[in-house]
Chain A
Amino acid sequence: MTPQVLAIAMAVVLLIVVLLLLRSYVLPEKYAVLWLIASIVAIVLSAWPGLLQAASDFFGISQPINLLFVGAFFVVFLLLMQISLELARTRDELRRALQRLALDIEKTSEDDDD
């Protein structure tokens, strides 16, 4: 057994988990896209390590593994950024919805007093 098999297996498991979450309507498509791209890239890179070597040569990085670290770090950064932005937006929407609800409740209770 080579480490390559382990790498491919892990990448495939990641892809299957994402697909299962999509299938059962747990993970919305919008958030799945980055995960899908990341897992497919992981499968491709682990299946054909030569690609990583070629890419490292292109960028002038002597150790291919460093390119992998930089790439993986970047993807994780994107995923975290997406979550932060969504959280900010969701909080904002929740606040606005509740303010609107509070104003409507106040208005209906005023109507009841008449």
Chain B
Amino acid sequence: MKVLVAVPALNEAAVIGQVLQSLSEVHSLRDVVIIDDGSRDATAQIARRAGARVVSHPINLGVGAAMGTAFKYAVREGYDVVVQFDGDGQHRPEHIAELVGGLDAADIVIGSRFASGGTFKSSAARRGVQRFIAWVVSAYARTRLTDATSGFRASGPRALAVFAEHYPVEWLGDTVESIVLATRQNLVVREIPVGMNERAGGTPSQSVFRATLYTARILFILGLASIRSVPPQLRASRAGKEVAA
């Protein structure tokens, strides 16, 4: 199986070199693509010099669009698996093999910070919100998921075919909505415990207002998903395949 590691990155010049260095110990950089989402610093140049492939968005389109580009790239270049890996040093390269290994029994494997074995410290309020969201999403996906918003995940061939056609781009769409979308396409979603590093850049927002908005947004995504039909892009591509077959 050809495995592509996709790293969405926005203005990560300070850490991207180090991230690629640690990645190179477990994965050939020829099979690593940086999706530079309109960075204004030297992220793309540093990554290219390190030997990784770089796809640059001319303007900032968001993480969801960056992963959408990554899936399209993977399909075009003939990869079977895409592993999403953060550009800020949060994810640990040693878990990549475990994620890919999990694809034997699933279409999407999510690295969870909260599943037993995962190590992650956060405030009680934040944990409460995460637990609530995990409960709702698990009920929806009919499988136990403790960390629906984790961006550390591997997608197998069947998931690739779906995501290359349609990947949610709006806030939290790339994480939560993509799980729901996959479930509705009868893909199997599983999680494995992973450890994560402290974020090198950026601070996670903690305010009550933000947490409320966050929870409301996720409930809105799930509510909307239950009335939504198949995305038009997917329907079109499937119709095309049926005609071809």
Q: Is A24 positioned at the interface, with any CB of B under 8 Å from its CB?
A: yes
Known contacts: A23-B229, A30-B170. The answer to whether A97 contacts B220 by CB under 8 A is no
In the complex, the answer to whether A25 meets B58 with C-beta atoms within 8 Å is no
| A93 interface residue (CB < 8 Å to B) | yes
Q: Which residue numbers of A lie inside 8 Å of B, CB to CB?
A: 19, 22-25, 28-30, 93, 96-97, 100-101
- Select from chain A the residue with minimum beta-carbon distance to B38: A96
B201 to chain A, nearest CB (A): 24
Residues of B within 8 A of A (CB): 58-59, 170, 220-221, 224, 227-229, 231-232
Contact (A25, B227) CB under 8 Å given A96-B59, A97-B59, A101-B58? no
Bound: A23/B231 CA distance, A: 9
- Judge whether A19 and B58 touch: CB under 8 Å: no
25 contacts between A and B (CB under 8 A): A19-B227, A22-B227, A23-B224, A23-B227, A23-B228, A23-B229, A24-B229, A24-B232, A25-B228, A25-B231, A25-B232, A28-B170, A29-B170, A29-B220, A29-B221, A29-B224, A30-B170, A93-B59, A96-B58, A96-B59, A97-B58, A97-B59, A100-B58, A100-B59, A101-B58
Contacts of B224 in A (CB 8 A): 22-23, 29
Q: How many angstroms between the C-alpha atoms of A97 and B170 in the bound complex?
A: 20
By beta carbon, the residue of chain A nearest B169 is A28
A19 to B225, CA, bound (A): 12
In the complex, A97 Cα to B59 Cα: how many Å? 6
User: Which residues of A lie under 8 Å from residue B227 when comparing CB positions?
Assistant: 19, 22-23
Provide the residues of chain A in CB contact with B229, threshold 8 Å: 23-24
Q: Chain A nearest CB: distance from B233 CB in Å?
A: 9
Instruction: Give the residues in chain B near A101, CB-CB below 8 Å.
Output: 58
Complex interface: chain B residues within 8 A of A22 (CB): 224, 227-228
